Structure 1
């Protein structure tokens, strides 16, 4: 089997956070689809500087925002991306479906996004086996530490501080966020010859969401086929990077992509700086590994960081200590929490109230403090590689660094690649950065970022 791609862009996407945006970029780049991630809505003039690009993304921050914020902000982003002419426009969501009716509403994003495209259905792929995410008969499962969990029983997602997952049945969970019709192509239908005819039967002017099960490589390929062959004059899809993996799997089967995709390994560097706002137990393990392996590890004092009078001094303290360690050849980690049972995580609402702030505003302040520390470290040292752990923190840090765009440079861990910064600032251009979701990577991940990592298999 062999066919060819159409001319122009194949896919344009808006990422609901920065770590998810780089995850999607990695999936496409590793497959052999040149991809660029922008921090502002890309223009044709910008894309002309990267003539080989076939997929373009826009890194956003909607996962932590209200439906009203989405209504005010997302239309311009979606219509701006739609004007680039890609046949598939994606709202990239986390593979753990982080969302609620009040914060990060995927339903609201869909209701806005379908208006930007001409399609009469809105496919949704959430399962991503490479990331150990599986959707079966509409229910989402995630594996951690070699153990699979229904998402509402997952040790992290069931206790997420902002959007705890209390429902693994995705049609039910999404149905709380939109009145739109929701359909399902389950794994049985997907493996039959009826999947695409079924989509044609249920499509309509109301543009239903059609969830597609993905369990394994076979269903991944078939999900990619269904979206690509059913794209018509253009579709809008709210999907995880499972969409990227599925499309790439189908294109590979068609002969449009190399049979053995890969990314190069990263070189070693002398030192790295890490800032972390993640509450994940995975990141907590990585912080403990760093502490045991010679990194300078320091905790942000949240009470001082949230107090306007002491916030500046708190950031200055960490910059001074971290810069001193880097001058001695040591890598550094500055973090705000160490796992979901950290007393500052459990008591975060009380800490925020004591500072006269809402939980949301306090979380943003923590992220902006970490961003300030990272920015000043880059200004005062010769660091060329940095890491940010946590989706919200990644958005705050990346937005503060004068970045125009990112491209994938090398492999680190699935969903958390090493990226190259493109910037009009000579001091920032060429910077290497990893934006890591809380649950991504092995315990020694920060060590891999320092010493280099094996290519993706």
Structure 2
């Protein structure tokens, strides 16, 4: 007897976003699990409503994304989900050469032949809004900015956002022909939106860009998607707002299982902050429950100094102290972002090879992805919420020393100032 068809498969272009989508589905009552290996995801699919696949595509050149995607898409196609969600950052930061959303989606379309390709432009729950196809995002100062004028995202070190019109932004990456469905049309309700989507899939215009300016828009989109029926999947591109929409309208989900409980920390806490955003900088400054180690350029560039740092951090963990190692915003590390990430990954692997830790926190999407892959986790399950956009997960690993480690993988822009201390205490409050 064939395995049940999952409702949705989501492919996270980095680990922080993938863990947030996992948390969003878990809150809706879905049986959901996040895998690092697409083949393992296919093998373990039988008792799951929602299957996640975490990748590091956001940090890769476009040609490597195109080369990787067939190995990801093939097992997804065999699972025959009703929806396939390519999970991207809520700020859509990407480019034609790095983290190309267009390259990934084009390959998914080739492999899946979807009924429709829909870009969901906003996530109001995280103060990301899409109006008439233009993306806006809240900032740490409490203001909302058009994304190309956002104080952080317009200066992103790898993929600065210089275009707010998402159709123009994605067309530059090869995802052309997006037809805008403004929030004024979505406000007409799920019947009208369903009729529009149904008409689009019967015509040549199968790529649509949906606005999202409010939680009500997300609910309407979910209700309209639920009414679409077909053998081929619907391909959705967006942040965790896609899971919010589908989860709010889904019926027939298996009874949600109890998430692995996250109680008092089982050992000391290690946090590595690779993000150099102002939000993460404020969290590092506010942390009081850690021995702090600023990662100076010389430490990461000179093997002897790096070895000494590993020894100090390992000793602190072995003695039961929480440790926070962090990069310094505005500092010239004399290497590009990918090389800096690689040094941080090697640092974490060396520390954990010497000293156990109960909880591992990583700030920064690319850093999170690389560290989880280096450490060899096979899957993640959601445990509890820490902040909007930040969840606590339980890692599964073949090594008993790492199995069931509690993980916080957060994007640079996510979390309140006291997040790191709450993570160390084992409390989301």
Structure 1-normalised TM-score? Answer: 0.86
Query: CA shift at 1:212, angstroms?
Result: 1.1
- Residue equivalent to 1:20: 17
Question: Contact between 1:88 and 1:236, CA under 8 Å: does it hold in 2?
Answer: yes
- Residue equivalent to 1:297: 292
Query: CA shift at 1:364, angstroms?
Result: 2.3
Query: CA shift at 1:422, angstroms?
Result: 1.0
Over 3 Å counting, the alpha-carbon distance change for 1:42 and 1:30 in structure 2 is: farther
Which runs of 5 or more structure 1 residues have no equivalent in the other structure?
A: 1-5, 353-358
Over 3 Å counting, the alpha-carbon distance change for 1:117 and 1:235 in structure 2 is: farther
Which segment is superposed worse, 415-424 or 369-378? 369-378
For residues 254-333 of structure 1, what are the structure 2 equivalents within 5 Å? 266-269=262-265, 271-290=268-287, 293-306=288-301, 310=302, 312-333=303-324
- Residue equivalent to 1:355: none
For residues 34-433 of structure 1, what are the structure 2 equivalents within 5 Å? 34-43=31-40, 46-47=43-44, 51-145=46-140, 146-178=142-174, 180-192=176-188, 193-203=191-201, 208-230=206-228, 232-233=230-231, 234-251=233-250, 266-269=262-265, 271-290=268-287, 293-306=288-301, 310=302, 312-338=303-329, 342-344=330-332, 351-352=334-335, 359=336, 363-433=337-407
Question: Contact between 1:265 and 1:454, CA under 8 Å: does it hold in 2?
Answer: no
Question: Contact between 2:15 and 2:365, CA under 8 Å: does it hold in 1?
Answer: yes
Which runs of 5 or more structure 2 residues have no equivalent in the other structure?
A: none
Structure 2 CA distance for aligned equivalents of residues 203 and 383 of structure 1:
51
Aligned length: 422
Structure 1 CA distance for aligned equivalents of residues 76 and 42 of structure 2:
13
Query: CA shift at 1:257, angstroms?
Result: 9.3
Question: Contact between 2:259 and 2:381, CA under 8 Å: does it hold in 1?
Answer: no
Query: CA shift at 1:7, angstroms?
Result: 4.5
Question: Contact between 1:138 and 1:171, CA under 8 Å: does it hold in 2?
Answer: yes
Which segment is superposed worse, 409-418 or 39-48? 39-48
Question: Contact between 2:299 and 2:309, CA under 8 Å: does it hold in 1?
Answer: no
Question: Contact between 1:122 and 1:207, CA under 8 Å: does it hold in 2?
Answer: no
Structure 1 CA distance for aligned equivalents of residues 218 and 109 of structure 2:
24
Query: CA shift at 1:453, angstroms?
Result: 2.5
Query: CA shift at 1:57, angstroms?
Result: 1.1
Question: Contact between 1:266 and 1:452, CA under 8 Å: does it hold in 2?
Answer: yes
Structure 2 CA distance for aligned equivalents of residues 45 and 108 of structure 1:
23
Query: CA shift at 1:113, angstroms?
Result: 0.8
Query: CA shift at 1:206, angstroms?
Result: 5.2
- Match of 1:83, SS state, is helix
1:436 equivalenced with 2:427 (yes/no): no
Structure 2-normalised TM-score? Answer: 0.91
